[in-house]
Amino acid sequence: MSFLKKIQEKFSSGRVEREVPQAPSPSPSAPARTPGAQAAPPKAGALERVKNLIAVGSGKGGVGKSTVALNLALSLAQEGFKVGIVDADIHGPSLQQMTRTGRPTMTDDDFLEPPEYEGVKVMSVAMFAPAGQAQIMRGPMVTQVIRQFLTQVNWGELDYLIVDLPPGTGDIHLTLAQMVPLSGAVLVTTPQEVSLLDVRKAVHMFQTVNVPILGVVENMSYFVCDGCDKKHFIFREGGGRKLAAEIGAPLLGELPIDPRVADSGDAGVAFVVSNPSSIVGQAYLEMAKQMKVQQAKLQRSGDGALGYFLLEWKQNV
Ligand SMILES: Nc1ncnc2c1ncn2[C@@H]1O[C@H](COP(=O)(O)OP(=O)(O)OP(=O)(O)O)[C@@H](O)[C@H]1O
Ligand SMILES: [Mg+2]
């Protein structure tokens, strides 16, 4: 059976768990890994021609990670870069809905060929399951899917592969940090303290696995109503700026609430494509520029060096 067929069967049936080897997932008491003992590096041809892998994460759910990740990818593509985006949110994938991409095809050498949206290669678990069906998978299976997305997809030559992370700081994040050389992370938050609380955990996670933080995006910063032209700070003011200062990373943007952003996500059209000259559209383009500036700075200073990361587990910390 072809790989495509197998993966489709796994995702569209309730049999997923039984077919998958139950490899033990990392536990806090597991011994420290040495670089040589880490998960196998990506299969040749999958990521070897990807220059930069950028994770977009938060720790907090619903703050706009997927929207920012997609529009960041599209903004980079609009600048002429070769870009891909992978939906690492296995239990709550959004990117297929946000791009309306079809299913991947299969190459002769058993790689998945990702569909494209506006020239950006897209891969999401939602491409394999009927809409509305939950991905009934335990940790090891989820980890396996992430591995497949990174090692058995024909990403080809890319300047940027953007990874849209799920909320939290769990298995998927650690699998990624162990498996692939992340060039950096962009953090998305909303302004209020309740959001910053979770984002600080994500900061700690990225710092622990030596992934440089390229900047903070404050989303849903304010709302300008039609009638009065005044900025209403619905979720409080200045949280993103405060976090950026705390961690010594640049604030990449403060994006207002614009109901058209939600409309375009639901309609499968990235906002930066449909409304490039709007305030939010311009902010996305600027965010991509600032992220590149920060990445170049870190690379010059040696802090953004690529490599496989040594993940050390410590108990009771
Ligand atoms: N600036 C904005 N203005 C208005 N709506 C927005 C804005 N940013 C995101 N949204 C909308 O908010 C909702 C949540 O966004 P999104 O799915 O990107 O969040 P997320 O952090 O990825 O969520 P999850 O944690 O579930 O993965 C979506 O409907 C999206 O269209
Ligand atoms: Mg999301």
Q: Distances in Å between the alpha carbon of 233 and those of 66, 230, 255, 268, 289? A: 22, 10, 12, 28, 26
Query: Could you read off the pLDDT of 91-138 as tens digits, one per residue?
Result: 999 999 999 999 999 999 889 999 999 999 999 999 998 777 787 788
Residue 312 has pLDDT above 50, yes or no: no
Question: Residue 237: what pLDDT?
Answer: 95
Residue 248 has pLDDT above 50, yes or no: yes
How many whole angstroms separate alpha carbon 80 and alpha carbon 133?
Answer: 36
Question: Residue 203: what pLDDT?
Answer: 96
How far, in Å, is the centroid of ligand 2 from the Cα of 88?
Answer: 9
Q: What dotted CATH number matches 41-300?
A: 3.40.50.300
Residue nearest to atom 9 of ligand 1 (CA): 64
Ligand 1 atom nearest 257 alpha carbon: 3
How far, in Å, is the centroid of ligand 2 from the Cα of 96?
Answer: 11
* pLDDT band at residue 303 under the 50/70/90 scheme: low
Percentage with pLDDT > 90 across the chain:
65
Residue 310 has pLDDT above 60, yes or no: no
How many whole angstroms separate alpha carbon 111 and alpha carbon 99?
Answer: 22
For ligand 1, residues with CB inside 6 Å are 58, 61-67, 89, 92, 94, 166-167, 219-220, 255, 257-259, 261-262, 265, 280
Query: Could you read off the pLDDT of 19-70 as tens digits, one per residue?
Result: 322 323 333 333 333 343 444 444 555 888 999 999 999 999 999 999 999 9
Residue nearest to atom 15 of ligand 1 (CA): 64
Mean pLDDT for the stretch of residues 216-243: 95
* pLDDT band at residue 14 under the 50/70/90 scheme: very low
How far, in Å, is the centroid of ligand 1 from the Cα of 61?
Answer: 9
| Proximal ligand: closest to the CA of 68 | 1
Mean pLDDT for the stretch of residues 75-80: 97
Question: Residue 31: what pLDDT?
Answer: 34
Domain boundaries, given as residue ranges, for the chain: 41-300
Residue 85 has pLDDT above 60, yes or no: yes
In the chain, how long is the greatest CA-to-CA distance?
A: 62
How many whole angstroms separate alpha carbon 150 and alpha carbon 144?
Answer: 10
How far, in Å, is the centroid of ligand 1 from the Cα of 262?
Answer: 7
Question: Residue 129: what pLDDT?
Answer: 81
Q: Are 73 and 164 in contact (CB under 8 A)?
A: no
Question: Residue 6: what pLDDT?
Answer: 54
The chain-wide mean pLDDT, for the chain, equals 84
